Amino acid sequence: MRNVALKLGCTLIEDAFAEAFPMVFSRLIVTALDDHWLQAAVREMTGYSSSVIACDLECGVEEWLTPDRTPDGRPGASLLAFGFSAKSLEAAIPNRAGQCIMTCPTTALYDGLPMASRRIALGKHLRYFGDGFQKAKRLGGRRFWRVPVMDGEFIVDDRAGIESGVGGGNILIQAVGLHEALHAARRAICVLDSLPGVITPFPGGVARSGSKVGSRYPKLKASTADAYCPTLRGRTETRIAERAECVLEIVIDGQNEATVGHAMRVAAIAAAGDGVVALSAGNYGGKLGKFHFHLHELLRSS
C-alpha cells in the first residue's frame, strides 16, 4: 500500500527505496586540442557503457574541465568508469582507451585519482602499441608513456587509481504521458550534470527499459520490469500509480554513499512537477545491494 504522507507539490513521493551496490571506479582525465576532438573522444569512450548487466563497465562524464583544471592546460573532461572489481576495470579501461582515446586526434589521457592506493595498469598496457619506439617519462613522481602516433605522440599515465564507489542509485518518474515524463527526466539530468562525483550512464541519463533480476528465460540475468510497464496493466502485478501512463528511470553511480544520496534527492526535487504523478525507486527487496536509499528519508533530511 502506498504511503501518501509526502508530496513535492502535486507529485506523490512513494515510500520506496533504491537498492544500490558496492562498485569500484576510476576517474580518467581526457584532454584534446579543442572541444571538437575532446567531445569526439568522450563520445567513443562512454559509448555502450550503460549497465554492467551486459557492458564491460558503466562510464560517463563527471564534468567538463576548463584548461586551467587539466594537467596539460587544454580543454578536458573528467570521466568516471565503474565496474564490480579492479580486475574488470583493468580489462575494460585500457581496451576502451586504446580504441577510443588513443585513436582520436590530439588526445591525452591522465589518471584522475593519483593519490589512490589501489591502482590498475593503463599506459603500462597501451605502450606496446608503440612497437618499441615508446618512451617513458617521469614527472612529479608519476610515470607517463609517450606513444608515437601519426599526429605526434599520445601521452598516457602508466597507471590509474581506483576507489570504492556506489552504483545503482535511482529514481522512477511516473508521469501522465511520455512528454511529461521526458520533460521531468531532462530537468533532473540538467541538475545532475552539475554535480561532481556522479554519473548517469544511460542514454541521455535516462533508461526506459528498467529491469528486474532474472527472467523466465534461464540464460538471461535480467528482464523487463513488468511491474512498471504501462502496457502490462492487468497482466502482471503493477506498481504504477493511478493516472500514470509512462515510467522513466534515472540511474546514478557515484563516488560514495553520501554523493549518491544527495544526487537522488536533488534529482527528485527537480523531476517533481505538473504531469508527474509519482516518484518512486527500484529495488530487489533489499536482499542484493547493501546500500538502501529511502526517498522519504532523503527528502526530509533538510
Residue 285: predicted pLDDT = 86
The average confidence (pLDDT) of the chain is 96
Structural domain containing residue 265: 7-20+165-299
Is the pLDDT score of 76 beyond 80? yes
Single out the residue of 55, 60, 53 nearest to residue 211, CA to CA.
Answer: 53
CB-CB contact of 210 with 282 (8 Å): yes
The answer to the question of residue 1 being in a domain is: no
pLDDT band, very low/low/confident/very high, at 302 (cuts 50, 70, 90) = low
The answer to the question of residue 2 being in a domain is: no
The answer to the question of residue 139 being in a domain is: yes
C-alpha distances (whole Å) from 147 to each of 86, 121, 135, 169 are 25, 15, 7, 38
Residue 38: predicted pLDDT = 98
65 and 12 in a common domain? no
174 and 141 in a common domain? no
268 and 138 in a common domain? no
The answer to the question of residue 206 being in a domain is: yes
Percent pLDDT > 70 in the chain is 98
Residue 139 is placed in which grid cell?
Answer: 614527472
Q: Provide CB contacts within 8 A for 177, sequence distance 6+.
A: 245, 246, 275
3-state secondary structure 249-265: EEEEEECCHHHHHHHHH
Span 104-135, pLDDT tens digits: 999 999 999 999 999 999 999 999 999 999 99
Output Rg (C-alpha) for the chain, integer angstroms.
Answer: 21
Q: What is the CATH number of the domain that holds 30?
A: 3.30.70.520
Which amino acid is it at 215?
A: S
Single out the residue of 221, 241, 222 nearest to residue 230, CA to CA.
Answer: 241
98 and 113 in a common domain? yes
Residue 172: predicted pLDDT = 98
Residue 191: predicted pLDDT = 98
238 and 107 in a common domain? no
Q: Which of 119, 145, 163 is the last residue of a domain?
A: 163
Instruction: Using DSSP, state whether 170 is helix, strand or coil.
Output: strand
155 and 88 in a common domain? yes
Longest Cα–Cα distance of the chain, Å, equals 67
Span 152-200, pLDDT tens digits: 999 999 999 999 999 999 999 999 999 999 999 999 999 999 999 999 9
Is the pLDDT score of 25 beyond 70? yes
241 and 174 in a common domain? yes
pLDDT band, very low/low/confident/very high, at 288 (cuts 50, 70, 90) = confident
The answer to the question of residue 64 being in a domain is: yes
Residue 5 CB coordination number (10 Å): 9
112 and 231 in a common domain? no
The answer to the question of residue 225 being in a domain is: yes
101 and 11 in a common domain? no
Q: Which of 120, 148, 163 is the last residue of a domain?
A: 163
37 and 152 in a common domain? yes
Residue 235: predicted pLDDT = 96
pLDDT band, very low/low/confident/very high, at 2 (cuts 50, 70, 90) = very low
pLDDT band, very low/low/confident/very high, at 66 (cuts 50, 70, 90) = very high
Residue 5: predicted pLDDT = 66
Is the pLDDT score of 151 beyond 50? yes
Mean pLDDT in residue range 25-36 = 98
> DSSP E strands: which ranges in the chain?
7-8, 11-13, 17-31, 58-65, 76-83, 108-111, 118-121, 135-139, 142-149, 152-157, 159-175, 198-199, 211-213, 222-224, 246-254, 276-280, 291-294
Q: Which residue has the cell 567531445?
A: 39
The answer to the question of residue 256 being in a domain is: yes
288 and 195 in a common domain? yes
CA-to-CA distance for 188 and 152, rounded, in angstroms?
41
Q: Provide CB contacts within 8 A for 164, sequence distance 6+.
A: 22, 23, 24, 256
185 and 156 in a common domain? no
Give me the number of domains the chain comprises.
Answer: 2
Q: Which of 120, 138, 163 is the last residue of a domain?
A: 163
